[in-house]
Structure 1
Amino acid sequence: MYVAVLSLCILLCESLSGLILPQTTPDGSTDLTSLLSHVTLLEQTVTGLQTTTVQLQSDLQANKAQAAAEISSLKNEMASLKAELRVSSDNLSILQNQSLDNMQLVMALASKSRKASFQVSLQLIRSPANIPLKFSHVDYNAGSAYNTTTGKFTAPVSGTYMFWTHLEMWNSTSYTYVYIKKSGGVNIVTGYLKPHTSSNYADASAVTVTHLDRGEYAWVEMSSFHFVYGDTSSYFGGAILLVDG
């Protein structure tokens, strides 16, 4: 734009320089025809300059308006981005707090789930055959994984567990087996009871280490009917040794 104005001014100066020179005839008088021609040329040049100036002013105003609109648009976009950034920052803060709360909850649950150990005992009963013995007296039940109603231990997490049992029989006259079983009726370990010829008492024990998936059961069964002596002489216990990674 400025180059065009400068060029126009140069051309105008050149035209005017020709107009301001004296126009004379050979006899020294003024050449009116030539003077009028130059005046006409000057008028045309001025008219062209005015037209160009108006156009330049119009272009300048249009450029100013466009620049102002673009600046306004950029300001609006910046304000919108700032608002979005604030919202994103707030959301991130909320998510971080939620993640912290969730992590604390998971850690608390994990801590509780790892407390899986118990020791329970029997009162004097006539034990049924091939169904879970229900040890009604709870000596210890961390994590509440043993159920006195069903006689079963439920694994709170997948891992390696150790189980043990000892049963003392009264008035026993026949051989019998003592099983520690898990879900599916799988025998984990078997204890064997052989009656004493000189005593009415006999006992059987079993100890095992096995893997249980979360939700699987473990319990004690006998292969035949017997009177099981109660108190602390007959018991069932277990504990988690290692939680699956």
Structure 2
Amino acid sequence: MVHTKAQSPLKDNNSTGLDLNSINTENVDIVRQLLNQETIIRMTLVKNVHTLMKDMLSLQEKLAEAEVEISSLKKSTDSELTDLKNEVMLLKLENVNVNSSMDNLKSALRLSETEQLKLSAAVSSLELLRVNLTNHDHDKATKFAFTAGVTSSNKTWRSGVMVFDKVIFSIRSGYNPSTGVFTAPIEGNYVFYVSAVEFSNRYLGVFIDKNGKHQVQLIGDSSAQFQTGTNMVILSLNRGYAVWVNYKSGSGYYSEFESIPVTTFSGFLI
């Protein structure tokens, strides 16, 4: 048998070796078991340390990846925040533009309302002008007037209708210069005026007749030559009624002086 001294790894530096000669077989088994357990514990600890180191390295890697990801997220967030700020600025500018456009639209609307009022006034003026033109055309269509005179003197005239054979003025009058008779074109009130000059002291009296009935008369009667008789009358006529100048007295009438009629017959619708 070999005698050896061994130092238990479970002892500190001050521990002393065991005398294997004094240890029986049972104690040796116990020591061996303890050594085996210590070895197992050491191996387990080493294994655990290696595992922990691997875990720490893994955690460090994951932490680094997380930091990179966080940094990337921060950059992305900063970029998105910058984009959002830019969009907000653009929206503010667009809002300013919208407000400016609204103001322009309001101004344009007010201008449009003003122009519409002007247009309405112009339309009203045009409508009034149209009505006036229509009335004017209607008035022209319903105006009747004439003036006629005799062109030759008559020293022996003693009966019948005095014929005023020269038409001086006429608007759709209805006067016939061949017969000396005015025929009313439409129903209405008419004014008639006659001026007759007697021929050299021959005296002169005439009637204004309506449908053969005397209405008024005029007389040129004096010791002086070429006396003038005048009269005017307003007559209500139906369409087709006739008016003329008829003989009453005397023996002649004077016609023209220097080729201008002095004995005349006029009429018009009022």
TM-score by structure 2 length?
A: 0.44
Does 1 or 2 have the higher relative contact order (CA < 8 Å, sep 6+)?
1
Select the structure that is richer in strand.
1
TM-score by structure 1 length?
A: 0.49
